[in-house]
Amino acid sequence: MSVMNTNPTAVGDTGDCLKTIGLDGTLQAMDNDGLCVMEIDDFGLVAGRPWASLWPEESRQLVLASVAAAASGKVSRFSADCPTAKGTMKSWDVAVTPIRNDRGEIIALQSLSHDVTRREQDRRESALVSRELAHRIKNLFAVVDSLVYLSGRSQPTSHPFVASLRERLGGLGRAISFIHPMDARDVNEAPRSIKGLIATLLAPYEQAGAHVAVTGDDADVGQDAVTSVAMVLNELATNAVKYGAMRDLVGHLAIDLKRDGERLILVWKETGVGRPADAVTEGFGTSLLDRTVKSQLSGVITRDWAPDGLIVTISLPLKRLA
If asked whether residues 182 and 214 sit together in one domain, one would say: no
If asked whether residues 177 and 199 sit together in one domain, one would say: no
309: left (phi over 0), alpha (psi -120 to 50) or beta: left
Q: What pLDDT sits at residue 6? A: 39
If asked whether residues 95 and 126 sit together in one domain, one would say: no
Identify the domain containing residue 134 by its residue range.
117-189
If asked whether residues 121 and 108 sit together in one domain, one would say: no
The CATH number linked to 195 is 3.30.565.10
- Within-domain flag for 262: yes
- In sign, the C-alpha dihedral spanning 245, 250, 251, 257 is positive
If asked whether residues 53 and 91 sit together in one domain, one would say: yes
Cα 13 to chain center, whole Å? 30
Q: What pLDDT sits at residue 10? A: 36
Spatial CA neighbour of 255 closest among 242, 273, 240, 274: 240
- Within-domain flag for 168: yes
- Domain total for the chain? 3
Cβ 231 vs Cβ 271: under 8 Å = no
Query: If DSSP codes are grouped into helix, strand and coil, which group holds residue 244?
Result: coil
If asked whether residues 73 and 102 sit together in one domain, one would say: yes
What is the average per-residue pLDDT within 150-177? 73
Whether residue 113 is predicted with pLDDT greater than 90 in this model: the reply is: yes
Q: Which residues contact 285 (CB under 8 A, 6 or more apart)?
A: 235, 238, 239
- Within-domain flag for 237: yes
If asked whether residues 136 and 88 sit together in one domain, one would say: no
- Within-domain flag for 9: no
Give the predicted TM-score (pTM) of the model: 0.55
What is the average per-residue pLDDT within 305-312? 88
Q: Which residues contact 152 (CB under 8 A, 6 or more apart)?
A: 158, 159, 161, 162
- Within-domain flag for 2: no
- Within-domain flag for 198: yes
Q: Where does a domain end: 115, 145, 180?
A: 115
Whether residue 9 is predicted with pLDDT greater than 60 in this model: the reply is: no
If asked whether residues 21 and 126 sit together in one domain, one would say: no
Q: What pLDDT sits at residue 188? A: 64
Q: What is the pLDDT of residues 188-225, one digit of tens each?
A: 666 788 998 899 888 888 887 889 999 999 999 887 88
Side-by-side strand order, sheet with 106-115:
27-30, 16-21, 106-115, 89-100, 76-83
If asked whether residues 103 and 45 sit together in one domain, one would say: yes
Query: If DSSP codes are grouped into helix, strand and coil, which group holds residue 265?
Result: strand
- Within-domain flag for 221: yes
What is the average per-residue pLDDT within 3-22? 61
In the structure, what pLDDT confidence band is assigned to residue 172 with cuts at 50, 70 and 90?
Answer: low
Q: What is the mean pLDDT of the chain?
A: 84
If asked whether residues 205 and 280 sit together in one domain, one would say: yes
Q: Where does a domain end: 147, 170, 189?
A: 189
If asked whether residues 179 and 197 sit together in one domain, one would say: no
Q: Where does a domain end: 81, 99, 115?
A: 115
If asked whether residues 159 and 50 sit together in one domain, one would say: no
Q: What pLDDT sits at residue 1? A: 36
What is the average per-residue pLDDT within 157-173? 74
Q: What pLDDT sits at residue 77? A: 94
